[in-house]
Structure 1
Amino acid sequence: MFQNKKQSTLVYSTDHGTMCTSCKRPIADCICGQKNKPKNDGIIRIERQTKGRKGKGVSLISGLPLEGEELKKLAKILKAKCGTGGTIKDGVIEIQGDHRQNLKIELEKIGYKVKLAGG
């Protein structure tokens, strides 16, 4: 009888979690560098969100190619320009209130390509 021996590609293992599709190792032990590729397309997106915030809106800035202290410094500058508070969560800057237009202008002055996302 004919058997189709198609090789399967392991994507997730209960022992190791998510697997790299290129080198077939756990993401933590990846040797091919696939996990280090940039996750963004070079465009900074600014959106307004109220979900889970009891109706209070925030402006979310995502897609920044910055990490750590550089991201904190930029967040501090943007909060000062808007005259409001904010925070950083998972690499996304959250600025209290709807300041999308002001944020877009400030980020474009720095040299970033910016899009207003959402409604």
Structure 2
Amino acid sequence: MPKGGWREWNDPALERGVTRSGAPAAGGGGSTTPKAQQTVRVQPTRAGKGGKTVTVIRGLELTDSERRALLKRLKGRIGSGGTLREDALELQGDRVDQAIALLEEEGFRPKRAGG
């Protein structure tokens, strides 16, 4: 198929999350690094939160749906609120130890960062 035109954007392979070469499309593929080898950092912070402490989890190489599912499990098990940011999960409160324990149960190898 020639490049350009409306066909390039309406390619059924792109809707399935696969490029023409067979590789996963950006944002549609899964993690390439096994959970146990990912560098996951868990850190308490107050930056930009009006003095409130939040627990920030960075370094997860997951798809958006996997991130949402993990955040939902963490919030339910810890019993606090949380949100999904661009590159991190945020949990309300200083829940670093609980988050590390739950991430280890999920198969990750998290490390405490910062204070």
TM-score when normalising by structure 1: 0.64
SS in 1 for 2:90: strand
Asked if 1:117 is matched to 2:113, the reply is yes
Partner of 1:10: none
Q: RMSD between aligned alpha carbons?
A: 1.6
- 2:42 is aligned with 1:46: yes
Partner of 1:74: 70
Q: Which has the larger radius of gyration?
A: 1
Q: 2:101 aligns with which of 81, 91, 105?
A: 105
- Note if 1:57 corresponds to 2:53: yes
Higher relative contact order (CA 8 A, sep 6+): 2
Distance 2:108 2:84 in 1: 19
Identify the residue that residue 89 of structure 2 maps to in structure 1: 93
CA distance in 2, matches of 1:58, 1:116: 14
Q: In the aligned structure 2, how far is the partner of 1:62 from the partner of 1:51?
A: 15
1:65-102 CA-to-partner distances (Å, cap 9, x unmatched) read: 11211100000000111101110011310000000000
SS of alignment partner, residue 77 of structure 1:
helix
- Alignment: residue pair count: 81
Runs of 4+ aligned residues of structure 1 deviating over 4 Å after TM superposition are none
Distance in 2, Cα, partners of 1:46 & 1:67: 19
Question: Which consecutive unaligned segments of at least 5 residues does structure 1 have?
Answer: 1-35
Structure 2 counterparts to residues 8-19 of structure 1, below 5 A: none
- For the Cα contact (< 8 Å) 1:75–1:93, is it kept in 2? yes
Higher strand share: 1
Inter-partner Cα distance in structure 1 for 2:47 and 2:111: 21
Give the gaps of 5 or more residues in structure 2.
Answer: 1-25, 27-31
2:72 maps to amino acid: K
- The answer to which structure has the higher helix fraction is 2
